[in-house]
Amino acid sequence: MTSQMSIIKHAACNKEMRPLQGLYINGTIRIVLPVLIIIVNAFAAEFAGGNGSQEKPYQIATVEQLNNVRNHLNAHFILTANLDFMSTPYRKLDGWVPIGNNDRKFYGGFNGNNYKIANLFIKRESENCIGLFGDCNAAYIIKLHLENCDITGNEDVGAIAGKLWNGSMIDMCSAEGWVSGSNNTGGIAGSGIFMGPSISNCFSNVIVSGYSHSGGIVGVAKNCTIKHCYARGQVSGIESGGLVGIDDGYNSIEDCFYNKEISGQSDTGKGTGLTTIAMREQSTYKNWDFETTWQMDPKKNDGYPFLKSKKRIIYGSFSTVTKKVNTDRLLNNDDIAAIRASSTLEGKDVYKPYNIHDTDSTTAWVEGVAGDGVGEWIEIEFSRSFDIKAFEIANGYGKSKKIYEANNRVKDLGIVFYTTGGPLESRITLGDESFKKSDHVVTETFSGCNGVLRIRFTILSVYKGKKYDDTCISEICFLGK
């Protein structure tokens, strides 16, 4: 990698930072300050961070913070730690109250970040829409894993969610334990109905029992998409199935399986029943993605497929920099005020601008103009001025080697640092040796770049992809103070 860092030749203007005059009321700040402190303290108690937007989801590190999700039903959330209900008040009496109900549905998004929630307990035999989440409308729940759940309800009962409708989605989730209901009971969701809800890349090891309409994944499916899922637990009830209990005939069920030896079911046309031996063979799952989504190991998960558990981890450690400047730190989502781009490829959230600072290598910003994207830019605005000492770029689309090579990667990158002392310009050239982490992740260190308010990165030239003409960047993270 070669580098032409012109900012080293400049010195940012070190003007005295004065407080905004608008903060003063009648010549004093004493009236304003206590109010601000109260707001900050209340927020800190409710969540561990974030603001509830898709770019900065509320961060959940405790069971009590999980309980606060019900106060923000249209917001976005992410788990930052494993949770255990065992020693909490939610193991007593009727247990956990599902998030979202018929009157106040969950409209938001929940990213489990591949963490686990253990020992969830619900005992509400006369209530409907029972699960960790209750009634979900146009919501998404991803990368969430429940262990040793014990859930009882009446109708629409599932481990992850009671009812999904209006395009709600569950993806890359799993459940293990017991789920019991009267009607519409499933190992992942109780029912998926109306306007195309979907369940994909999920598995359950749940004993599902009900009077009628029970399924290893979902009890009732109407106009629903179910893809790349399997169930391995026992299922009981009238009009039930190993994978899906009731299929209205308008569902799309693709490459899904259930254990016909354990489930006690033998239905067809809504999931394929297989023996235990067959379900432990990777050749069974011909169309599944074992490169980025699934994996198999005879010593893990009883030999059945399980989901890859990559969590949000920022590329690199900046170890060479932090040894020299102990006061510097890795900037987080709370330090980012906005992320903007000149264009974005339409179609999926995994292409959006905020993906370059979500610490998830399986997503990327993908520019959206015709051609190779030269001239397109992405800009990060900070919540305050920072002295930036280094940044790290994960070039290309880092989801897999195949996807990385299929799309364009940045070769020459123009950089403008907008500082309190004026703009500073730079240009760097990124290498493109291979998909290895050490090759496509590049660290740039520099000095003299103080008081940075925002940074714009512009694509100047690209390394061509083998299949697509879209240029991608997976991650950019910053070290500063």
Tens of pLDDT, residue by residue over 124-161, are 999 999 999 999 999 999 999 999 999 999 999 999 99
Question: What is the DSSP secondary structure assignment for residue 30, as one 8-state letter?
Answer: T
| Mean pLDDT taken over the chain | 84
Asked whether the predicted pLDDT for residue 365 surpasses 60, the reply is yes
Cβ neighbours, 10 Å, residue 471:
30
Nearest to 332 by CA among 348, 314, 315: 314
Tokens describing residue 288? 């599944």
pLDDT at 423: 84
Mean pLDDT lowest for which of 41-45, 111-115, 387-391? Answer: 41-45
76-80 average pLDDT score: 92
Element (H, E) at 109: strand 109-118
CB-CB contact of 220 with 205 (8 Å): no
CA dist., res. 214 & res. 180, Å (int): 9
Helix (H, G, I), strand (E, B) or coil at 179: strand
Would you say residue 55 has pLDDT above 80?
A: no
Q: What pLDDT score does 29 carry?
A: 29
The stretch 221-245 carries a mean pLDDT of 96
Whether residue 202 contacts residue 188, with contact meaning beta carbons closer than 8 Å, is answered with: yes
DSSP of 72-129 = -TTSEEEE-S-EE-TTSGGGSTTBPPPB--SSS-B-SEEEEEEEEEE--EEE-TT-SS
Per domain, the residue ranges of the chain are 3-12+313-480, 47-307
CA distance 263 to 271: 12
Percent above pLDDT 90 for the chain: 62
Average the pLDDT over each of 315-324, 387-396, 430-439 and give the range with the smallest value. 315-324
Structure-block tokens of residue 344:
């974005």
Residue 238 has pLDDT above 60, yes or no: yes
Taking residues 450-461, report their average pLDDT.
92
| CA pair distance 57, 81, nearest whole angstrom | 14
Over 80: is that where the pLDDT of 232 sits? yes
Spatial contact of 366 and 347, defined as CB atoms under 8 Å apart? no
Question: How many Å apart are CA 471 and CA 369, to the nearest integer?
Answer: 10
Of the pLDDT bands very low, low, confident and very high (cuts 50, 70, 90), residue 432 is: confident
pLDDT at 390 over 50: yes
**Using alpha carbons only, how large is the chain's radius of gyration in Å?**
25
Q: What pLDDT is attached to residue 379?
A: 93
At 204 the three-state DSSP class reads strand
pLDDT at 16 over 70: no
Q: What are the structure tokens assigned to 274, written together?
A: 């297989």
Average pLDDT over residues 265-271: 94
CATH class of 3-12+313-480: mainly beta
* Whole-number pLDDT of residue 409: 94
- What is the strand order of the sheet 244-247 is part of? 133-137, 161-165, 189-193, 218-221, 244-247
Cβ atoms 429, 414 nearer than 8 A = no
Write down the pLDDT at residue 424. 84
The structure tokens listed for 437 are 């982490």
Q: How many Å apart are CA 402 and CA 466, to the nearest integer? A: 9
The DSSP call for residue 249 is S
Task: List residues bridging with 137 in a β-sheet.
Answer: 165
Alpha carbon separation from 423 to 390, 440, 451, 453, 477 (Å, rounded): 17, 28, 11, 10, 20
Other residues' Cβ atoms within 10 Å of the Cβ of residue 380: 23
Which region among 150-164, 178-192, 449-463 has the lowest average model confidence (pLDDT)? Answer: 449-463
The answer to whether 3-12+313-480 and 47-307 have equal CATH topology is no
Read off the pLDDT of each residue in 162-179 and give the average, rounded to a whole number.
96
32 vs 30: CA distance, rounded Å: 6
Per this entry, what is the length of the chain? 481
Q: Which of 128-132, 249-253, 279-283, 437-441 has the lowest mean pLDDT?
A: 437-441
Instruction: Give tens-digit pLDDT for 215-224.
Output: 999 999 999 9
Cβ contacts of 328 within 8 Å, gap of 6 or more: 318, 321, 322, 389, 390, 479, 480, 481
Compute how many other C-beta atoms are within 10 angstroms of the C-beta atom of residue 254. 13
Question: Which of residues 86 and 310 earns the better pLDDT score?
Answer: 86
Q: Report d(CA 152, CA 122) in Å as an integer.
A: 6
Per-residue pLDDT at 35 exceeds 60: no
- Kindly report the backbone phi and psi dihedral angles of residue 305, in degrees, each rounded to the nearest multiple of 5, phi listed first: -60, 150
The H-or-E segment that residue 117 falls in is strand 109-118
Residue 36's pLDDT is 29
The helix (run of H) or strand (run of E) holding residue 115 is strand 109-118
Distance CA 170, CA 139 (A): 9
Q: What is the pLDDT of residue 441?
A: 56
* Percentage of the chain lying above the pLDDT 70 cut: 83
State the pLDDT confidence band at 41, using cuts at 50, 70 and 90: very low
pLDDT of 211 above 50: yes
Q: 3: how many CB neighbours lie within 10 A of its CB? A: 14
361 versus 372: the higher-pLDDT residue is: 372
Tell me the residue type at 55.
E
CATH fold label, 47-307: Pectate Lyase C-like (2.160.20)
Mean pLDDT of the region 345-366: 82
Residue 77 pairs in a beta bridge with: 58, 110
Tell me the pTM.
0.62
**Contact call for residues 169 and 140 (beta carbons, < 8 A):** yes
Tokens 């489930």 locate to 263
